[in-house]
Amino acid sequence: MRLTGLLGFITVMWVMILAITAFLINFVAPIDFVLFRNGLDRLIISLMQASIAIIIIMILVWGLNKMKKIYMQKKLQL
Amino acid sequence: MLDLSFGNNILIYGVIVSAISFLVTLIATPKMIRSLIAQGSVVQDYHKPGKPDVPRPAGPVLLGGIAAAEIVLYFLTLDMTIMAIMLTTVIAFIVGFIDDRKVLPGWFKPAALITAAIPLIIFGAHGTNLNLIFGNAFIPLLYVPLIVVIIPIVGNTINSIDVLNGVVTRFVIITTMPLLVSIAIFGDNEVFLAALPLLFGTIALYQYHKFPSKVFVGDSGTLVMGSMYGAVAIAGNSEIIGVIALLPAVMNSFLFLASVKKIVEHRQVKVRPTVMRSDFKLAASKEKNAPITLVRLILAEGPLSEKEIGYYISNLAVFSSLLALISIFIQYYFLSGGI
């Protein structure tokens, strides 16, 4: 099957998105209540949440880059 | 969730806007093709024997079909969200049209598309909660920068999948289906109705863009589709579902950027990712510094004709749309208090 590898790649990307959204919902969204008991300014909380989300997305991109390199070596011998 | 109660006219309005966008695009495209040929606005189709001239761009006619439907819908509903979606699409069209006329640096499109996000912010078309499959996050402050990022990314992502005859239009048709389902569940009547012209206008344009293309959509056409896709996803609370449906195009953009390592206009890339054989089949480039693209990966296992490659990309779009539908199901389960 010509598309097997690509379908696998897309599936892994999807699973990574689900994992990130689960992390954001369970750990990042309630950060103001869990860590600071609603004691911090809304703007500061938002900046912290944004920073964590950006770091997570950077980790996702890094992970995808690693995956891409392995996939390329296998498919295109690059 | 859609309100299907008797008296809110969603079915009638839906039929009206779908018919307008479909018929205007279908009827106006042949006229546009003749006009483009008369003006000499043609480019060579390098993947066909004899490299025939094909008129470009079809963006104005697609915008015409969509805008006509959106204006009628606005006067029927007087909802400013519809105006915001239309203005975003119009600004993206202008950016694409400039790029169609002049080869501009790679950074131009993403930077200029930031302006297309402004109507969504000014008219308050966005919500304050971002649906994240397993729940939603209340992000009233973060939503604005997110919109500024989403519109250029989706516009350029759709633009990057415009690789061969009929591919981008068929891709948008397929991936708009789960988006519409998501908007029907997590959005409202007005945004659902506003999204219909994207589907039906693109279906009409596909009749002329499918293999062998009678017209190319151009950057103006791809940015109309991409920015409108992003705009209705934002207004319809379906951002993540939209990203999942677009995964093959996201992957294509990511692979290209990761291999070229800078934002560059694809026409300015010196080494092509594919090579044309004497039998007019495409093969993956063996050059180490050639960009890595979705088409190159599809061709890694052997040469294919242009039509066959389009078929494989459509299969990937169907697959990602199924993943988007599964995600909608999961999101509905969690948001409706399933656990």
Section A52-60 average pLDDT: 90
Query: Which pLDDT belongs to residue B267?
Result: 64
- Whether B316 and A3 lie within 8 Å, measured CB to CB: yes
Tell whether B204 is covered by a domain. Answer: yes
Coil vs helix vs strand at B108: helix
B316 touches chain A (CB under 8 A): yes
Tell whether B272 is covered by a domain. Answer: no
Query: Which pLDDT belongs to residue B6?
Result: 55
Tell whether B188 is covered by a domain. Answer: yes
Tell me the pLDDT tens digit for each residue of B27-77.
Answer: 999 999 999 999 999 999 999 999 999 999 999 999 999 999 999 999 999
Percent of chain B exceeding pLDDT 90 equals 78
- Whether A22 and B133 lie within 8 Å, measured CB to CB: yes
Q: Which domain holds residue B241?
A: 10-259+308-335
Query: Which pLDDT belongs to residue B36?
Result: 97
ipTM: 0.91
Tell whether B207 is covered by a domain. Answer: yes
Percent of chain A exceeding pLDDT 70 equals 92
Query: Which pLDDT belongs to residue B271?
Result: 82
Tell me the pLDDT tens digit for each residue of B200-252.
Answer: 999 999 999 999 999 999 999 999 999 999 999 999 999 999 999 999 999 99
Tokens coding B331 = 């999101």
Tell whether B183 is covered by a domain. Answer: yes
Mean pLDDT computed over every residue of chain B: 93
Query: Which pLDDT belongs to residue B120?
Result: 96
User: Which pLDDT band, with edges at 50, 70 and 90, does A42 fall under?
Assistant: confident
Q: Is the pLDDT of residue A37 over 80?
A: no
Query: Which pLDDT belongs to residue B104?
Result: 81
User: Which pLDDT band, with edges at 50, 70 and 90, does B7 fall under?
Assistant: low
Tell whether B102 is covered by a domain. Answer: yes
Query: Which pLDDT belongs to residue A16?
Result: 94
Number of domains in chain B: 1
Q: What secondary structure does DSSP assign to A5-70, as a single string?
A: HHHHHHHHHHHHHHHHHHHIIIIITTHHHHHHTT-S-HHHHHHHHHHHHHHHHHHHHHHHHHHHHH
Query: Which pLDDT belongs to residue B327?
Result: 98
Encode burial over B48-62: b for 16+ CB neighbours within 10 A, e otherwise: beeeeebbbbbbbbb
Tell whether B287 is covered by a domain. Answer: no
Query: Which pLDDT belongs to residue B107?
Result: 85
* CA dihedral for B210, B215, B218, B224, sign (positive or negative): negative
Q: Is the pLDDT of residue B113 over 90?
A: yes
Query: Which pLDDT belongs to residue B268?
Result: 66
Percent of chain B exceeding pLDDT 70 equals 96
Query: Which pLDDT belongs to residue A49?
Result: 84
Section B190-203 average pLDDT: 98
Among the partner residues A6, A22, A46, nearest to B142 by beta-carbon distance: A46
Q: Is the pLDDT of residue B263 over 70?
A: no
Measured CB to CB, residues of chain A less than 8 Å from chain B are 2-3, 5-7, 9-11, 13-14, 17-18, 21-22, 24-26, 28-29, 42-43, 46, 49-50, 53, 61, 64-65, 68, 71-72, 75-76, 78
User: Which pLDDT band, with edges at 50, 70 and 90, does A38 fall under?
Assistant: low
As separate numbers, helices (DSSP H) first and strands (DSSP E) second, chain B gives 13, 6
Which residues 6+ apart lie within 8 Å of B260 measured at CB? B269, B291
CA distances from B266 to B45, B49, B106 (A): 16, 23, 8
Highest-confidence range of A46-50, B189-193, B252-256, by mean pLDDT? B189-193
Section B138-158 average pLDDT: 91
- Whether A6 and B135 lie within 8 Å, measured CB to CB: no
Tell whether B26 is covered by a domain. Answer: yes
**Closest chain B residue to A16 measured between Cα atoms?**
B244
Tell me the pLDDT tens digit for each residue of B298-329.
Answer: 998 899 999 999 999 999 999 999 999 999 99
Query: Which pLDDT belongs to residue B264?
Result: 65
Q: Can you list the pairs that B25-28 forms with residues at least 24 positions away whose Cβ atoms lie under 8 Å?
A: B25/B61, B25/B62, B25/B64, B25/B65, B25/B66, B25/B200, B25/B201, B25/B204, B25/B205, B26/B204, B26/B207, B28/B61, B28/B64, B28/B65
